[in-house]
């Protein structure tokens, strides 16, 4: 938890203690969410509000407000009279989650193919090639670095698609997906990095060729495949 707090001690950020209750809540929410997405908590791990409040120098109430917000996001569950713990998603529910997420990303890829521009394709190609190079050079690439590279590829697809406010919807899905990929990647090999890299290249080619139908199908299946990996690892717990 101290490491989590250290990330928020930059000169441009106020301490939690100096902020109003809504801002304290957001401060703590952002810090815990960041740690969850980076896989720093285990599935089912208990989050003790009093301990978190002490870490951030705030009262218990803003912490509980932050945890309730994280519950709405699907990261934790608040059990009355019991406490708060990191969610432990079911394999079946995870497959369904990625099917829905895949449909969203598929539509974005199709729109990207339809609305592609030369400059946008350069951004996407650079993102795909950077991810590919990093994965090939380091088979043991830390999962948090891969997730950052992966998110860059998908942001580039959305940039090409120009979907407007729907990008915020996709960001919410990616936050939870990164959390699931981070915690389950600790349970086994990361060969899926290479598989995902090959899929990124195929999606790029379809978008560059203006083949919206193929781009949509490939992007959808890409997310469904990730969901299958995550669900398989969850089933091993």
Does the pLDDT of residue 3 top 80, yes or no?
A: no
- Provide mean pLDDT across the span 158-186: 85
Q: What is the mean pLDDT of the chain?
A: 86
Q: Is 119 exposed, middle or buried (0-12, 13-18, 19+ CB in 10 A)?
A: exposed
Per-residue confidence (pLDDT) for residue 190, from 0 to 100: 61
Residue-wise pLDDT for 66-99, tens only, equals 999 999 999 999 888 788 999 999 999 999 999 9
Containing 83, the helix (H) or strand (E) segment is: strand 83-86
Q: Which of 12-21, 29-38, 173-182, 197-206 has the lowest mean pLDDT?
A: 12-21
Confidence band (pLDDT; 50, 70, 90) for 162?
Answer: confident
Domains of the chain, first to last: 2-86 (1.10.10.10), 91-235 (1.20.120.530)
Strand duo 76-79 + 46-47: pairing:
unpaired
Per-residue confidence (pLDDT) for residue 14, from 0 to 100: 36
Q: Which of 6-10, 35-39, 119-123 has the lowest mean pLDDT?
A: 6-10
Per-residue confidence (pLDDT) for residue 187, from 0 to 100: 61
Residue-wise pLDDT for 43-65, tens only, equals 999 999 999 999 999 999 999 99
pTM (predicted TM-score): 0.83
Q: DSSP letter at 45?
A: -
Per-residue confidence (pLDDT) for residue 9, from 0 to 100: 37
The SS3 of residue 140 is coil
* Joined tokens for residue 101: 């997420």
What's the gap between Cα 30 and its chain centre? 13
Per-residue confidence (pLDDT) for residue 17, from 0 to 100: 44
How far, in Å, CA of 180 to CA of 195, rounded? 18
Q: Would you say 147 and 179 are in contact if contact means Cβ atoms under 8 Å apart?
A: no
* Joined tokens for residue 11: 């000169």
Residue-wise pLDDT for 109-141, tens only, equals 999 999 999 999 999 999 999 999 998 888 778
Per-residue confidence (pLDDT) for residue 7, from 0 to 100: 35
Q: What are phi and psi of 126, to 5 degrees?
A: -65, -40
Does the pLDDT of residue 5 top 80, yes or no?
A: no
Q: Would you say 181 and 225 are in contact if contact means Cβ atoms under 8 Å apart?
A: no
Does the pLDDT of residue 237 top 80, yes or no?
A: no
Containing 150, the helix (H) or strand (E) segment is: helix 143-161
């Amino acid at each position: 938890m101290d490491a989590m707090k250290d990330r928020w001690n930059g000169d441009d950020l106020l301490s939690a203690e100096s902020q109003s209750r809504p801002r304290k809540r957001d401060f703590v929410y952002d810090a815990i969410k960041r740690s969850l997405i980076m896989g720093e908590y285990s599935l089912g791990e208990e989050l003790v509000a009093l301990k978190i409040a002490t870490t951030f120098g705030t009262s218990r109430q803003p912490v509980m407000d932050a945890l309730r917000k994280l519950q709405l996001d699907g990261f934790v569950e608040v059990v009355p009279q019991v406490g708060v713990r990191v969610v432990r998603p079911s394999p079946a529910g995870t497959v369904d989650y990625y099917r829905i997420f895949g449909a969203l990303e598929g539509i974005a890829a199709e729109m990207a193919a339809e609305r592609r521009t030369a400059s946008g394709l350069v951004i996407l190609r650079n993102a795909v090639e950077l991810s590919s190079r990093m994965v090939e050079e380091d088979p043991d690439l830390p999962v948090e670095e891969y997730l950052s590279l992966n998110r860059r590829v998908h942001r580039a697809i959305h940039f090409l698609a120009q979907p407007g406010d729907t990008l915020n919807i996709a960001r919410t899905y990616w936050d939870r997906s990164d959390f699931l990929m981070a915690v389950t990647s600790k349970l086994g090999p990361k060969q899926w990095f290479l598989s995902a890299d090959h899929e990124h290249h195929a999606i790029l080619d379809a978008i560059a060729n203006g083949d919206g139908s193929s781009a949509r199908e490939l992007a959808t299946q890409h997310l469904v495949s990730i969901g299958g990996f995550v669900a398989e690892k969850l089933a091993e717990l």
